[in-house]
Structures are given as C-alpha cells and as structure tokens.
Structure 1
Amino acid sequence: MRMHNADETCGIAQAALVLGDWWNVLVLREVARGHVRFDALAAELGLSRKVLTERLGRLVAQGVLRRSLYQRRPVRYEYLLTDAGTALLPLLVAMQDWGDRWVLGDGTLTATAEADGAEHTRVHALPGTRLPDGLVPPDAAATVLFTYPGTGTDWGDPAIPGAAGCTLEHRLFRDAWPEFHRAGVGLYGISTQLPQEQAEFARTEELPYPLLSDAGHGIAAALRLPTFRGAGRLRHKRLILVADAERTVRHTLFPVTDLPHAVAESLRLALSLPRPAG
C-alpha cells in the first residue's frame, strides 16, 4: 500500500496497514473467538486455503499473531494472539459496538436490545458455544455468568435505557447465593470495570461470589457480547449465560429487564442441566 509521507507518523494509518482489509479483521475476530487452527478458521470464514494462508502469514509477520506447534506429523500450527494482537481486542469490540448501533441499529444509545435486533440474535445463538478458560469453576456442576454495565455509575440525564440496576442485581444474586452454592452452581459477575473498582464494591456489598474484570474486552470479543458506551467507557449490556460443567453455554437470558425473575430463572435453568457423572 502506497502511503503519503505524513502517514508515517500517523498511528491510525499505521494500524490500518496492519489490519489491511476486512479479511484480516475477520481473521482476528475468529482467533479471539477461539478458532485458532487453520481448518477451523477456513470453515468459519469461508476463505480459500490460499487466501487464508496469505492473511495468516501477514498477521504473523506484523507481530499480531504467533504460530504455536500442536502436531508434528504432519506439521500443524495454532495461531494465537500476541500481546500486540490482544491489544487490538478493544478496537474489535468498539467496531462491533459501532456497527451494532449505527449500521445494524438506528443510532439509539441503549443498554438493552430489541427482540428482532442483531445483538439479540447473536446472544441467543450462543448455546453450544464453549466459554473461554477461567470462566467456569473446575468443580461446578453448572455455572451462571451475568454481565452488568457497572456499579456506582452516574448514567447521566436522561439515563441510558437499561443501564441502571446493577447494585440491585448484585444484591439479588447475593441473597440467592446460598441456593446456588448448595446446588453446586458457580456464579460470576462480569463487567468492564477495573479490578480495584470491583474489589471495592465486593467488599462494601459483602459479595460471596467472584467478580471478573473484562476491562481488556477479551470476554466480549470471544463471545461477541453486546456493549454500549456509557460514562466514558464501553460497557457490557446486561445478560445471563448458563453453562454446563464442560464450559458449554446451554441457556441465555437477554435482554434482562426483570431482575428478580432473571436471577430465579438462571438458577432454575442451571438446576435443569444434567449433572456430571460421578
């Protein structure tokens, strides 16, 4: 690609050189989703082997992906994000957020979703998807993951529809925790708030379950979770995922508007899953 001299010191232009074209972006999207082997990438993207080989080679040369040998005969590699590639995840999520709002949506800023919208379709297509490592306790019979926009946040005036209620949601899950615990159901809350922000809230509210920070947007990118921009950062829209002991999503609740019902329903769905043998 030929560049104007002024582009040599332009970070946007240099990033555009690395990303190249839309296939490079989609390759990174799929690697972030856990499709790290050549055949899986080819199947997800519908790319010819020649074109995919070219794109992967370019991204490796640019330092965004690295190859990791997983089979010697014949030689096979996995393509994993480097630190530079991981640093692109917030950009991918921001692109998704922009597309959801301005291309697939009507431009409205909202923390919820319409039943016939793209975000609703993506979330309700998650059953059958394996969760990233670290999101399911190793001894849990089932796991409930709930994403929330953020605690202790001023959403402005007028408030962003669907954003408020995070503290109430946590208190409802806290009160229901004994039932989750007795049933062997793991429970995690996830937001893009920083770990120290979450830790302070957990201490104040005496939460018995862990909070996970997705400040780097790795979880959002891996699952293509819906987001919105509020109070200065990208935030998760409120949803609930119910996964089995094998880290596979079995049920989704989205959008979440009735908090007491959603907490009770998430436990009911977790209890309905088959128990692990033994």
Structure 2
Amino acid sequence: MSRELRAQDAQCSIAQAAAVIGDWWSLLIVREVARGHRRFEDLLGELGISRKILTDRLKHLVEHGVLTRDPYQTRPVRHEYVLTDTGWALAPLLITMQDWADRWLLGAGALTALPESHNSETTRVHALLGTRIPAPLSLPATRPRPTARPLLPPDPEGPPTPQRTPHPHPNRTQPGERGPSHPHETHPPQRPSDHHLDQTDPAERSDQFDQPHPSLHSPSARLDLGETVLPASTPAPAIAGGPTPAPAPEPTSVLPSSPASTAQPLPRPETTVPPDSAPQVGTATVEQVGTATVAQIDTAAVAPVRTATVAQVGSEVVGVTDTGWSDVVADAGATVLFVYPAAGSPGALPPRWDDIPGAMGCTLENRLFRDRLPEFAAEGIAVHGVSTQRPDEQAAFAEAEGIAFPLLSDMDLRLAAALRLPTFRAGQAMRLKRLILVVDRLRVVRHVIFPVLDIPTAIGQSLTAARAITRGRPHTY
C-alpha cells in the first residue's frame, strides 16, 4: 500500500514511484498481470496471497492508473485486471530487476548472452513449455511486400491460386491456463481446494462497479472479420460443426545435440550487410524442467491489429517496406518465434560485441531462417524474429538482407516481461538471450530450445517440431 510521503520527498520522483509500486505485493501483481494472469482467482492462486491483501492492492493499483478493469463476462458482469499504458511502462523495471538478480544475486556478475551457471534462467524458459502466450500481445514489426525473389520453385503446371480463408475467431487465453502436459512430465502438487470460500473478486460485489463497463461495447472489443491471404499449403482454421482437427502434439523441450544436415540455400544476390560473426559454440548442461497442467479454453474477442504476414503469392515472396504492428503469434498452423540479441553490420553493433559470450551469430541466424523459409512456408508455418532493436534498425536490416518474415521489436520489453525472458545489458540497452519457441495456433508453447548453441541444428529442430504441429502428430527427439 502507498505510504504517506514525507515533506522532503514531495518532489522526489523515486519516492513518488515507491509510494505506488514499492510494496512487495503490488510489484508482484504487476508481474503476474503482465504474464497474463488477469482474473482475481488466478492472481489468488499464483501469488498465494490472502483475499484481503489482494483486494486492497488491486484497488490501490486501479486508483493509481496502473491497472484497469475490463469486462470478460456480462451475466453476471465479471472483470479482469489489465495493464494500462502506465502499467506497461513498468515492464522495463521488471526486466531490469530480473536481469540484476540473475547477474548479481544468483550469478557471478559476468556479462554473458548464455545462461548463467545457477540455471534459474534455463528453468524459467523451459517452464514456458505447455503455457500460453498472453493475448493480445502485439509489437512493432517489419511489414512485407511482394518482391521478385522466388519462395518456392515454380510449379511446371502453373502457380497455385492463393486460398482466401476468413479470419478465424481468435481465442482469448484463460489467464494461467496451460496446455496438455508432456507425457514424461509430472504434475506439481495441487493446492488444497477451498471450495467453501467464495473465489469471486470482492470488487464485483461493490456498488461502484454495478454498471456495465463502457469498453464492453467499444470498437476495440469487436472481432476483426477481415480476410487474410494464406499460403496454399496452410490448413484452414477449424469451423464450428465441421470435422474435428487432429489432436495437437505433446509439448517438448530440448537442447540441440547433433549437427543438422547441410541444406542448399536458394541463390540470391550478394548482400550489403556482412554477418556480425560466426555463432558462439560452447557447452552447457541443461535438463528439461517445468510442468504443465491441463485446462479448458474459453474464447473472447481480441482487438484487431495490423499483421505483418509472410505469404506465398504465386512464385513470389514478400519483402519489407516499413513497419506496422503484429501479434507475436501468427495466424498460422504454427509459429516459430526465434529470439536473438541484435543483428546488423559490425559498425551498428555495440562496442566489444564479439567479447560477449553467445552474442554473435544473429545475422547468420536470420540468414539461415531466410534461406529455409520455403520449407517452413510449405508446411503453413510462420517465422517471427524478435529482438530489442528499434523498428527502423530492423527494417533497414531486413531490406538489406531480404528478410521476408516479420522482425518484431520488443524495445519496450513487453514480451520479455510477459514471458520473463532472460536478458543481458550491452550498448546501454537490454538485449534478449538467444532462444527458440514453437507455438501452436492456440498460443500454447509446444517446443523450447534454450540455450541455442548450434544455430543450424536448432533451426532444423524448430522446423521438425512445427511440422509435427501442423500435421497433427507428436514428435520425439
């Protein structure tokens, strides 16, 4: 709760901020809402907090504009807690605190883009297995346009006709829900169920919230029913009343172990941006960690966003012109989300970049994904690259390198806060450590690769995992 400010602190911004979010529980509530746990009962379970303290802290954060209450049900009216712009502005603070603790409290204080020896970063990343990426979660992204470079070899019988499918109803992720668990994973001990307690948010019973929330009928709450051009090989979304789709594969979490077979890239003109360096290869001992539990899914409207989609149109592939906004999870059978520190020419990278273990190889990684994009596109798999570089830096890099998939900018660290991604600081900016997530259409993380020590092998493994999802069959390593 906020404290009474002393007279000498009235003009101190640090004291003013501490009065709002300096409390232990207030900061952890912001952390959990950023992760997608937005409802009262979910916060109650995640934090292990008393109902009275949670009610007081939520009221305090709403009063100070950090959170707002949005309706997710009308009869009776029920609300969930959502971060405002003021609240999302705390994402860099959360990641800075996490990075500081990883390096200075849990680690040895070394600057590295690889996991720290204490392994808490690896534990956090692999715990994403079976969880859902919060929705909506959109970031600035490079926007593609048609170019003359072929994506797939021309069909001797002529180019295929692009399929036009209606945009499916997006699925609102139930905060805190997890997808089907891996068959070899064990479920965590369950907390005793307090069925005799009323789990309803006390604020729902307050007279001040009896009126329907105006945003329930706002334009942002309506579905975007536009159409999207998808690759001809992309499976159409399930339609109510239609045939039941094949079951999703079980989630897996792996460490690259063997070199991938060498693939011949498509011929392309010489590029103007040299690679930052070869990938850093080292050794690490990683165990699959984390658990997953089964949960039901309900649906709700998600505000429409501008999507930068990679699509095959005849024998052409998209290019890049400017930046828009894109959801981190594409409207595709599966999305490969590869996260990297920074890509570009050596002159554009921070000083002594090559001295940071694990930092090099980002340009190479983008080029390898670019050259294998036909294989991903043929299976209806979207590829998204994510770094904390500015959108204009990403657009210039994508244009010079012919990167045909969206590059998303997490410069405000919203994705990093939502997934608690590991970071390191270099060049006066927070950088994301290299990892790969394979996500299905329902936003469930089905495959995790961290750390990425062999980039070509990791890309091959991500393709295999994503292909298993789109074909509806499990895969093993």
Q: TM-score normalized by structure 1?
A: 0.95
CA deviation profile, 1:115-164 (whole Å, cap 9, x unmatched): 751000000111111123312221x1111001110113134177111111
Are 2:441 and 1:248 equivalent residues in the alignment? no
| 1:50, distance to aligned residue in structure 2 (A) | 1.1
Equivalent in the alignment of 1:259: 455
Are 2:396 and 1:200 equivalent residues in the alignment? yes
| 1:273, distance to aligned residue in structure 2 (A) | 2.1
Listed as ranges, the matches of 1:59-70 within 5 Å are: 59-70=61-72
Are 2:37 and 1:35 equivalent residues in the alignment? yes
CA deviation profile, 1:216-243 (whole Å, cap 9, x unmatched): 1110000010011011100100000011
Residues 141, 276 of structure 1: 8 Å contact kept: no
Equivalent in the alignment of 1:165: 361
CA deviation profile, 1:41-83 (whole Å, cap 9, x unmatched): 1111111111110110000011111111223444421111111
C-alpha distance in 2, partners of 1:183/1:78?
37
Equivalent in the alignment of 2:339: 147
| 1:208, distance to aligned residue in structure 2 (A) | 1.0
Are 2:328 and 1:135 equivalent residues in the alignment? yes
C-alpha distance in 2, partners of 1:41/1:72?
21
Equivalent in the alignment of 1:209: 405
Structure 1 residues 61 and 206: CA distance shift in structure 2, 3 A: same
Residues 36, 79 of structure 1: 8 Å contact kept: yes
Among 434, 450, 455, the alignment partner of 1:238 is 434
Give unpaired runs (5+ residues) of structure 1. Answer: none
Listed as ranges, the matches of 1:172-187 within 5 Å are: 172-187=368-383
C-alpha distance in 2, partners of 1:254/1:150?
17
| 1:20, distance to aligned residue in structure 2 (A) | 3.1
Among 59, 70, 75, the alignment partner of 1:57 is 59
Residues 155, 163 of structure 1: 8 Å contact kept: no
SS of match in other structure, 1:28: helix
RMSD: 1.7
C-alpha distance in 2, partners of 1:157/1:237?
13
Structure 1 residues 269 and 157: CA distance shift in structure 2, 3 A: closer
C-alpha distance in 2, partners of 1:29/1:116?
22
Kindly provide the amino acid, as one letter, of the partner of residue 72 in structure 2: Y
Among 9, 15, 18, the alignment partner of 2:17 is 15
| 1:189, distance to aligned residue in structure 2 (A) | 0.2
Deviates more, 1:128-137 or 1:62-71: 128-137
Give unpaired runs (5+ residues) of structure 2. Answer: 137-326
Residues 112, 356 of structure 2: 8 Å contact kept: yes
| 1:274, distance to aligned residue in structure 2 (A) | 5.3
Deviates more, 1:102-111 or 1:65-74: 65-74
Equivalent in the alignment of 2:465: 269
Residues 340, 385 of structure 2: 8 Å contact kept: yes
| 1:205, distance to aligned residue in structure 2 (A) | 0.3
Structure 1 residues 157 and 237: CA distance shift in structure 2, 3 A: closer
Structure 1 residues 257 and 155: CA distance shift in structure 2, 3 A: farther
Among 97, 100, 103, the alignment partner of 1:98 is 100
Equivalent in the alignment of 1:48: 50
Deviates more, 1:4-13 or 1:253-262: 4-13
Kindly provide the amino acid, as one letter, of the partner of residue 130 in structure 1: R
Residues 341, 388 of structure 2: 8 Å contact kept: yes
Residues 102, 116 of structure 2: 8 Å contact kept: no
C-alpha distance in 2, partners of 1:65/1:276?
39
Residues 380, 470 of structure 2: 8 Å contact kept: no
Residues 350, 426 of structure 2: 8 Å contact kept: no
Kindly provide the amino acid, as one letter, of the partner of residue 146 in structure 1: F
Q: TM-score normalized by structure 2?
A: 0.56
Deviates more, 1:127-136 or 1:243-252: 127-136
Q: Whose Rg is larger?
A: 2
Residues 339, 433 of structure 2: 8 Å contact kept: yes
Kindly provide the amino acid, as one letter, of the partner of residue 43 in structure 2: L
C-alpha distance in 1, partners of 2:381/2:468?
11
SS of match in other structure, 2:330: coil
| 1:276, distance to aligned residue in structure 2 (A) | 6.1
| 1:102, distance to aligned residue in structure 2 (A) | 1.2
- Higher helix content, 1 or 2: 1
Residues 447, 465 of structure 2: 8 Å contact kept: yes
